[in-house]
Amino acid sequence: MRQAVHRLIVPTAGKGLYEITDAAVAWVREQGVGQGLLTLYCRHTSASLLINESAAPEVRGDIAAYFERIAPEDGPYRHRNEGPDDMPAHLRAALTATSLGVPVLDGVPALGRWQGLFLFEHRRDPHRREVVLHLLGE
């Protein structure tokens, strides 16, 4: 059994879904592991991770619009330390995931045909987000 760890830096330009599939798949291939488990972990409280549709860009817009409706910036929040988008960002992260597990089969993550890996940025301003990739396998 082998394991490898990598820090993937994802620059964002503000709210939205940023696909990280190609970077994750390329890194897994470089490791030479045939079968195993890839864990992705987002090291932030105002960004998260998703596995979702990667073929139709409208899906990303619809997801982002949905989260704007359920966690709006003008909500009745007490926590506003970093501005009006701070607490909604925490809520959106709480409703999604900060870690994902994806099986690795034949040297690549076993994503479905239309599935992609996304960092979901919940803040308005640009950030440099860190996603830790951990691969365990043989």
Q: What is the pLDDT of residues 83-116, one digit of tens each?
A: 999 999 999 999 999 999 999 999 999 999 999 9
**pLDDT for the residue numbered 86:** 95
The pTM of the full predicted model, rounded to 2 decimals, is 0.96
Distance CA 3, CA 37 (A): 10
Instruction: Give the rounded percent of residues in the chain with a pLDDT score beyond 90.
Output: 99
The CATH architecture assigned to 2-137 reads Sandwich (2.60)
**pLDDT for the residue numbered 109:** 98
Residue 119 binned pLDDT confidence (cut-offs 50, 70, 90)? very high
Instruction: Residue 109: count other Cβ atoms within 10 Å of its Cβ.
Output: 23
